[in-house]
Amino acid sequence: MTILQVIWFILIAVLWTGYLVLEGFGVGAGMVMPMVAKTDRERTQVQKTFGPVWDGNEVWLLTAGGATFAAFPEWYATMFSGMYLALFLILFCLIVRICAIEWRTKVSSAAWRGRWDSWQSIVAWLVPILFGVAFANLVQGMNIAVTQFNTPGEAVAGAADLSKHVHNFTSQGAPLGSVFLSLLTPYTIAGGVMLALVFATQGLAFLALRTTGEVQNRAKNLLGKFAIADTVLVAIAALWGQFLYASQAMAWIPLIIAALAFIVTVMMALRGSEWGTLLAHSVGIAGCVAWIFTAMAPNAMKSSIKPEFSLTIWDASSSQSTLAIMLVIALVVVPIVLGYTYWSYTRMPLKVTLEELDENPGLPWDKIRQGASFLAES
């Protein structure tokens, strides 16, 4: 591996960390909304905590995907060839969630808002579960083989020549011959449940900090329980992966950092420290991402069929000149993303109260039927 390949591998990990930390509390707040918000106005209060910044949070996901495509095109192509259905489901859930956030206030009807809130909570649970399954597959390894260009289902017998061969998913040994079902194993399912709990805890920590009244009280009451549960499940999933699947002994370093951060999270939650809980839990998420990328290195995608079939960072990489040009662009773009994220959060009030909310936002049905503009009063 060259220094540029290592830099880009680390940069992609940083971008994923930004997304999981920021959208973790946005999606997480939607996940726990039925538990902490019992009325229409309380659900609106929850929505106001992350509604103004969801689009900025999604920039981190887009940037991580774009960076992977530019720096490691073979990784991007191989991942989409076998995980296409899973990634499509994630995209579908994100679209439904965005529609729920943006459309709930377009009609002045509590029933209308309630339906969209229900949809948002449902897909909010699916998003981290699907992402968790995907990340766990990167650690565990997948049904990847080196195949001929014209016969993608047949693995090559001898040494691979990447000018003539390509890394591809294969149905070899997959349940019912399905590549999609091969992604679902006890470990990957545990990874999905683990990330769902991490997102829910991040959401509760965020709501405890950003809300007031009954919503804040309920969030604080649940936060300690969720923090303990997600710490235990993270420990199980991480140790499981470290002992059975990790390629690098140095993966213990981020694993220990993450463990300490989650323990501090539990302590801060039980003491009622709002900022302390959110910051410690965010460090724990960063440690988990660092562990995932360290555990899978030097592979971008590990093969569970034969180690020789694994897609390494070297094989997946763009040319050195492309990596150098993209690094210059990243040095411009990433600070802009960081600056926009900081600016957008500092523009919001720290606390969202019930008193500042509109009683019944949106247009009445009769005006909508008459063709009134949604933008006129929204």
Tell me whether the omega of the peptide bond preceding residue 298 falls within 30 degrees of 0, making it cis. Answer: yes
Lowest mean per-residue pLDDT among 39-53, 60-74, 155-169, 209-223 = 155-169
**CA proximity to 169, closest of 78, 305, 77:** 78
Residue 366 has pLDDT above 80, yes or no: no
Residue 276 has pLDDT above 70, yes or no: yes
Q: Which residues are within 8 A (CB) of 224 and not within 5 positions of it... i.e. 6 or more apart?
A: 266, 269, 270
Q: What is the predicted pLDDT for the residue at 230? A: 92
CA distance 140 to 348: 40
At 176, the pLDDT band (50, 70, 90 cuts) reads low
Q: What pLDDT digit, counting tens, does each position of 109-121 carry?
A: 888 999 999 999 9
Residue 67 has pLDDT above 60, yes or no: yes
Residue 281 has pLDDT above 80, yes or no: yes
Q: What is the predicted pLDDT for the residue at 147? A: 67
Contact yes or no for 155/147 (Cβ under 8 A): yes
HEC string for 22-57: HHHHHHHHHHHHHHHCCCHHHHHHHHHHHHHHHHHH
At 53, the pLDDT band (50, 70, 90 cuts) reads confident
Q: What is the predicted pLDDT for the residue at 338? A: 86
Residue 287 has pLDDT above 90, yes or no: yes
Location of structure tokens 């981190």: 60
Return the CA Rg of the chain. Answer: 22
Contact yes or no for 330/322 (Cβ under 8 A): no
Q: What is the predicted pLDDT for the residue at 234? A: 94
Contact yes or no for 172/155 (Cβ under 8 A): yes
Residue 21 has pLDDT above 80, yes or no: yes
Q: What is the predicted pLDDT for the residue at 232? A: 95
Contact yes or no for 139/246 (Cβ under 8 A): yes
The whole-angstrom distance between residue 47's C-alpha and the CA centroid of its chain comes to: 19
- Residue 167 DSSP one-character state: E
Most confident segment among 177-186, 191-200, 337-346: 191-200
**CA-based end-to-end distance of the chain:** 53
Residue 94 has pLDDT above 80, yes or no: yes
Q: If you average pLDDT over residues 1-20, what whole number do you get? A: 92
Q: What is the predicted pLDDT for the residue at 155? A: 52
Q: What is the predicted pLDDT for the residue at 219? A: 95
Burial 192-215 (b: 16+ CB within 10 A, else e): bbbbbbbbbbbbbbbbbbbbeeeb
CA distance 7 to 331: 12
Q: What is the predicted pLDDT for the residue at 174? A: 61
Q: What is the predicted pLDDT for the residue at 165? A: 57
Q: What is the predicted pLDDT for the residue at 157? A: 47
What is the average pLDDT value for the chain, to the nearest integer?
87
The whole-angstrom distance between residue 128's C-alpha and the CA centroid of its chain comes to: 6
Contact yes or no for 33/117 (Cβ under 8 A): yes
Most confident segment among 30-34, 175-179, 350-354, 364-368: 30-34
Q: If you average pLDDT over residues 167-189, what whole number do you get? A: 74
The whole-angstrom distance between residue 166's C-alpha and the CA centroid of its chain comes to: 28
Q: What is the predicted pLDDT for the residue at 142? A: 84
Residue 288 has pLDDT above 60, yes or no: yes
Q: Which residues are within 8 A (CB) of 230 and not within 5 positions of it... i.e. 6 or more apart?
A: 194, 197, 198, 200, 201, 262
Residue 156 has pLDDT above 70, yes or no: no
Set out the domains of the chain in order of their start, with CATH numbers.
Answer: 3-142+183-359 (1.20.1630.10)
Q: What is the predicted pLDDT for the residue at 345? A: 83
Residue 220 has pLDDT above 60, yes or no: yes
Q: What is the predicted pLDDT for the residue at 1? A: 73
Most confident segment among 284-288, 317-321, 358-362: 284-288
